[in-house]
Structures are given as structure tokens and as C-alpha cells.
Amino acid sequence: MLTAEGLTCVRGDRLLFKNVWVELNAGSLLYVLGENGSGKSSLLRMLCGLLMPDDGAVFWAGVKIKHDAESYLSNLTYIGHLNGLKDDLTALENLQMSARLAGNDISEEKAITALTAIGIARCANLPVRVLSQGQKRRVALASLWLTKSKLWILDEPFAALDTASVEVLATRLGAHLTNGGMAIITTHQDVTIHAQSSQILRLSA
Amino acid sequence: MNNFWNDSACLAVLRRDLLLALRRRSDVATTLFFFLIVSSLFPLGIGPEPAVLSSIAPGVLWVAALLAGMISLSRLFSADFADGSLEQMLLAPQPLALLVSAKILAHWLVCGLPVVLLAPLIGLQYALPNDVLLILVFSLLLGTPALSFIGAIGAALTLGVRGSGLLVALLVLPLYIPVLIFGAGAVAASQHGMSVEAHLSLLAACSLLAIVLAPLATAAALRISVE
């Protein structure tokens, strides 16, 4: 479904990676590994369409993502390094707003269910400003329980999470992949995710 | 723009920004007080001569409104850029230009409209008669949307640049000149008993043009800034 052909990324004068090929089908998981600064985040941003490849192209269902951005983006959930949360809004408001922005109008009960799933429901009505780093991350990740998109691109989703939450998230990822979803993640942690097929892409600096 | 109101994503952006403004009222107050203070300094500095004051009023009040709108511009996208909400807006399936329009509309409602509503009170300081005050409010109502929409292009272009506040001013102020000329011109014309129709029509034209074209330019600038 998602293919990338010969991606090259140059930042400034530095070549981060070149000629990277990705092919991802329903139910499969791609780990992007590499040391700090090897271009993992840049690759993920490139696959989302946030960053233009210096060479090569990304295709969704055989069509360049630039040519049919709407159908690609409605199938994509991206959670980057930044959580995309507003400090002055509550966890619940943030979750509902981000779901609506993704074209998914959800009720308050559904949002609460998602927050409960990742164990943060008791902070639902607190402004995100007062939450800890890990709690903020969990609020951002709660949208994975609401989204219907097929492709998840997650940049270090396990960073700042406690062990119990890592387990919960890994289970959610496994369920998504079993339902024919696709996921691309970067991580430095050793986490077992149940997937029919998983690939590893190693970027070297 | 037809499906703007039916589009829940646009409404979500508008609602979020208005809610944020409500939670952080000090930002709105800064704009208003800036307008209030700048426009009150002139009568204090120049002296209470009604003839002089009323002759400088159109220009002074319009320049004050223009600067007040501009000081909040650098905040338009910078918070979203810093916390990652901008990335999520770029990745929403809706056209970015529409979402950007919603953001700019929220900016105008929060920073432009209060200035329009406060203007007649300030106008009294300048010994403006009632019919001129009415034209002043009307010209600001027609012209300030153009300021927000044109300003958004500058805010998007300078996103993530150090010292962006000053850079926005340098980029955007020259583009405000037509709006200033027609806006202040309308008020001055009404003071001299001339027809204001031509000025107001041109002012409305500026705004319409900005409302249609600026979101497209802003969206393109945002995509470049986020890279």
C-alpha cells in the first residue's frame, strides 16, 4: 500500500541517507532504527509528506502522495516528537479537537474511553500544562484509540512512557496490525509487538 | 469558502483558537491597551486644539489600529509551530488554506474586532463628530480583515526565524499601505463632507482580495517553514 522509492535526504550540506526503499503492506510493521541524528525522524516526516524528498518519491496505493494528498492524509495518523497539545486546554478538549481536525467527530464518552484505555482518564479535565511529560505523551497517544486510519507513523512513541503504558501501547499496535493496519515506528527500546510481518530498516549516520 | 461552515475541521480550529484566547485573556488585552495608549499619546503630545486633533485623527487612529493588529501577528502561528499542532494541521485531510482561514478569522475576531468596537470611544478624544465616527468604525470594519489576512502571510514566512517580531513588521507594513490610504482617506473625506463611497469600495476590495488570496500564500509559506 505504502511504497517509497529511492528516498534521499539532504539537510544543509549533510547527506543523511540516500536510496531508501520502503514497501509496506496491510498488517505489516516497519521499525526504523539508527543512532541519534541518523535521519529517522526526517525519514518519517518525508513519508508523511511534511518534508519533500531531495530525490525519490512516496506512493500510497500506487499514486504519488503529492497528487492525491486528501486520500493519503485521511488514511494517515502521525505522532511526532511534538505532542501537538495545547497547554491551556484540558486533555479531553485536546483529544476531541485533534480528532475533529482529522475529520473524526467524536463524542465526549468516546474520548473518555480512549483516555481510560491508556490510563489517563483521571486527568481528563486538567489543563495539559500541569501534566508530566509522560502524561502528555499519553494524551497525544490516546488518539490512536479513536482513529480509523490505516497507516500509523509514530516517532518514538514509547519515549517517556512507564512500563505499564508501553505494554498497553504495544497491545494497541498489535491489534491495529491484526486488523490489517500498517505502522512505521522508531524506537530505542526493546518492545515486542505482535505483527504478521515486521521489517527493520537501519539507517546509518 | 462555501463549505467553510459545514467543515467540522475548520470549525474545530476556529473554536480552539477562540477558546485559547478566552483562557489567555492577557494576549487580547495587550492588543487593546496598545491601541488605547498609542492613540491617547497623540492628544497628550500635540495639545488639546480640536482643529489640529481632528485633522490628524484619521491617520493616527488608522496607524494605531494597524500597529495594534501587528503586534499580535508573530503569535499567530508560533505557538502552534512550537507545540506541534501546526504539523497536525498540515496533515489534516482538509485543504490547508481553509484551516488557515479559520485561524486568521479567529485572529481577527480576537484582535481586530475589539479595536473596531473601541475606535469610536477613542475618536471622541479627537473631537470627531458623530457621522465621522460612524465612517471611522465602518472603514475599520471593512479594512481590518485585510490587515489580519495580509499579516498572516508575513507571520507564516517568518515562522521559526529569530527576531521574527521585527521582521514581520518590515515585511508586512509596506503591504498595509493601500489599506491605510483608503481607510484614512475615507474618514478624512467624510470630515470634509465628500463622498466616502469610492474609498470604502476600494477598502472592501482590498479585504476581499486578501481574504481570497492570502490563505493560499500563507498555506504555501507554512509548508516551507515546517520543512
Phi, psi of A22 (to 5 degrees): -135, 135
Is residue A76 within 8 A of residue A68, CB to CB? The reply is: no
- Tell me, what's the pLDDT at B224? 92
Q: Is B152 left (phi over 0), alpha (psi -120 to 50) or beta?
A: alpha
| Spatial separation of the C-alpha atoms in residues B85 and B184, rounded to whole Å | 38
Percent of chain A with pLDDT over 90: 70
Q: What is the pLDDT of residues B83-128, one digit of tens each?
A: 999 999 999 998 999 999 999 999 999 999 999 999 999 998 898 9
Q: Average pLDDT of B33-51?
A: 90
| Spatial separation of the C-alpha atoms in residues B169 and B72, rounded to whole Å | 11
- Tell me, what's the pLDDT at B2? 44
| Spatial separation of the C-alpha atoms in residues A34 and A129, rounded to whole Å | 32
> Is residue A201 assigned to a domain?
yes
- Tell me, what's the pLDDT at B1? 42
> Is residue A200 assigned to a domain?
yes
- Smallest Cβ–Cβ distance between A73 and the set B15, B19, B93 belongs to B93
- Smallest Cβ–Cβ distance between A78 and the set B11, B91, B227 belongs to B91
- Tell me, what's the pLDDT at A195? 81
For residue A53, what are the domain limits?
1-75+182-205
> Is residue A6 assigned to a domain?
yes
Lowest mean pLDDT among A129-138, B154-163, B178-187, B205-214: B154-163
Q: What is the pLDDT of residues A30-68, one digit of tens each?
A: 999 988 888 899 999 999 999 999 999 999 999 999 898
Q: Which of B144, B105, B76 is nearest to B1 (CA)?
A: B105
Q: Which residue in A has a C-alpha nearest to residue B18's C-alpha?
A: A89
Cα(first)–Cα(last) distance of chain A, in Å?
28
CATH number for the domain harbouring residue A66: 3.40.50.300
Q: Which three cell numbers stand for residue B99?
A: 484551516
Phi, psi of A179 (to 5 degrees): -80, 15
Any A CB within 8 A of B12 CB: yes
Provide the pLDDT confidence category of residue B6 given band limits of 50, 70 and 90: low
Grid cell 490512536 is found at: A144
Any A CB within 8 A of B25 CB: no
Residue B5 has pLDDT above 60, yes or no: no
> Is residue A27 assigned to a domain?
yes
| Spatial separation of the C-alpha atoms in residues B40 and B206, rounded to whole Å | 28
- Smallest Cβ–Cβ distance between A73 and the set B11, B16, B91 belongs to B91
Cβ distance A101 to B12 less than 8 Å, yes or no, reads yes
- Tell me, what's the pLDDT at B87? 93
- Domain ranges (residues) in chain B: 8-226
User: Does residue A20 sit in helix, strand or coil?
Assistant: strand
Cβ distance B8 to A100 less than 8 Å, yes or no, reads yes
Q: Which residues 6+ apart lie within 8 Å of A171 measured at CB?
A: none
> Is residue A45 assigned to a domain?
yes
Q: Which of A42, A26, A113 is nearest to A75 (CA)?
A: A26
Q: Which of B147, B159, B21 is nearest to B89 (CA)?
A: B159
Mean pLDDT score across all residues of chain A: 91
Is residue B187 within 8 A of residue B62, CB to CB? The reply is: yes
Lowest mean pLDDT among A22-36, A189-203, B186-200: A189-203
Residues of chain A contacting residue B93, judged by C-beta atoms under 8 Å apart: 69-70, 73-74, 102-103
Percent of chain B with pLDDT over 70: 97
Residue B7 has pLDDT above 70, yes or no: no
Cβ distance B16 to A89 less than 8 Å, yes or no, reads yes
Any A CB within 8 A of B125 CB: no
ipTM value of the model? 0.90
Q: Which residue in A has a C-alpha nearest to residue B82's C-alpha?
A: A82
Cβ distance B12 to A100 less than 8 Å, yes or no, reads yes
A8 CA to chain B: closest CA distance, Å?
A: 15
> Is residue A2 assigned to a domain?
yes
